[in-house]
Amino acid sequence: METIEFRKFTIKKGYIETTVTTSKFLTKQKDIIKFGLNKKIIPNSDLIAVALSTLCGTQYKNIYMDLLVSTEALEGIKKFTQANVTVKGENLSPPTYKNGTNNIILNFSGGFDSLAALCIMPDNTKLVSIDFGHWFTREKEIFSKFAPYTVKTNFRQLKYDRASWTFMGAGAILYSEYLGAGYQVFGTNLESTPWNYISPDRINKSVLVPPFSIANIKDIKYIQGLALPSIIMIISRYRPDLLNESLKSLSEPGTEKRYRKEIVAKFICKKYNRNVFIESTEPPKQKVKFGSYLTADFITLYQLKYLGKEVTERTICDIPKDVEDVVSKLKLAFYEKINTNFLETIPCQYKDEFHAKLANADVYPYNEQDWEEFREVIKLLSKYHTSITNVI
């Protein structure tokens, strides 16, 4: 039976350590996971438990945490993990982390998406960054320029990032009480998940996303309606000085991801007359076959329309004729606008500023033609991606 145990805790100001033992298929593994916070605080043990639950997801049948955890938090963790969760005992301390204000935490990596989010969020937004070390040193080089609240951890190097995407919010959970956070934002853009392509009447617009809701943090979606071109429009308008550095932090030169974002960035800056230096790199030696990577395919249509087939085929191969036919008859202007499906998640007191900042970057909401074309693009992509077919 699959089990994970968190024992032998060391908890002191600015530091949390635990020994993690996993049992799967008669094999055991033991690791020491560390969290170093640059602010010398001790998070409520409920928040530590909730943060650790992001490393569990629904992968385990049994979970044990050698912590005092309130009944309310424990029940929330059980529901999130769908596991039999036991703890050392009950946390009787008043859950002061429930007293959050309207402060917003941005989970900030310094990449395109989180940088664009920062540009259109309130000035008092609190930045929380996770220093994963090792392969992710490029991220640290840019997010450290903003002096964020940081959590340095080794759990990603130890491969405890596989159970749930929510591990990206572990830092926000640990800092949530200290920062008085009532909301958080992830740098998740439109093409990052097929769930963003669901029709407006079916899309999940709830701000109560477990396990963050256990910590009284509402999840709001500032950039989930923005595709890569509109993301770049925002950065080139507000932080042109960081566009190239942010691009470099995303991935190594010679990769499809790096080259795709580079060529779209150059096109957008030229189109909108924004004088931004963007370093040129070589196209990837290995191309991506159309139909194998949804994020790339979504942007491929925009590239075909505005950058041309020759440029697009530097990264993408075997583009079907029906894709070219659809592109030829559509304007695809919606790529430079905002899909309004997620706007109602943004608190009322922040909406006017949000729309004003978007407009200042020449980003406007979809009109009816945009919606029609968006639906046609999703229908087309669903022929090549079952991940869309399964959700729309």
Where a domain ends, among 63, 87, 111?
87
For the residues 202-230, what does the mean pLDDT come to? 92
Is there a domain that residue 150 lies in? no
Angle CA 33–39–44, to nearest 5: 65
Is there a domain that residue 106 lies in? no
Is there a domain that residue 149 lies in? no
Tens digit of pLDDT for each residue in 106-120?
999 999 999 999 999
Q: What is the model's pLDDT at position 100?
A: 66
β-pair partners for 62: 3, 84
For the residues 321-343, what does the mean pLDDT come to? 97
For the residues 121-126, what does the mean pLDDT come to? 96
Tens digit of pLDDT for each residue in 254-304?
999 999 999 999 999 999 999 999 999 999 999 999 999 999 999 999 999
- Stated pTM of the model: 0.93
For the residues 311-339, what does the mean pLDDT come to? 97
Q: What is the model's pLDDT at position 135?
A: 74
Domain, as residue range, for 271: 247-334
Where a domain ends, among 55, 87, 119?
87
| Residue 247 neighbours by CB under 8 Å, 6+ apart | 112, 258, 261, 262, 265, 278, 279
Is there a domain that residue 381 lies in? no
Lookup: tokens for 346: 């943004």
pLDDT band at 342 (very low <50, low <70, confident <90, very high): very high
Q: Which residue's structure tokens are 């924004």?
A: 274
Helix (H) or strand (E) segment spanning residue 377 = helix 368-382
Q: What is the model's pLDDT at position 270?
A: 97
Give the separation between CA 223 and CA 117, rounded to whole angstroms. Answer: 6
Q: What is the model's pLDDT at position 98?
A: 72
Q: What is the model's pLDDT at position 1?
A: 64
Give the separation between CA 283 and CA 81, rounded to whole angstroms. Answer: 42
Tens digit of pLDDT for each residue in 129-169?
999 987 777 788 899 999 999 999 999 999 999 999 999 99
Where a domain ends, among 87, 106, 139?
87
Lookup: tokens for 373: 């074309």
Tens digit of pLDDT for each residue in 367-379?
999 999 999 999 9
Is there a domain that residue 347 lies in? no
Is there a domain that residue 23 lies in? yes
Is there a domain that residue 278 lies in? yes
Q: What is the model's pLDDT at position 250?
A: 82
Average per-residue pLDDT for the chain: 94
Is there a domain that residue 375 lies in? no
Q: What is the model's pLDDT at position 274?
A: 94
Q: What is the model's pLDDT at position 97?
A: 75
User: Number of structural domains, the chain?
Assistant: 2
For residues 83 and 107, the answer to whether their CB atoms sit within 8 Å is: no
DSSP 3-state percent helix, strand, coil across the chain (nearest 5): 45, 20, 35
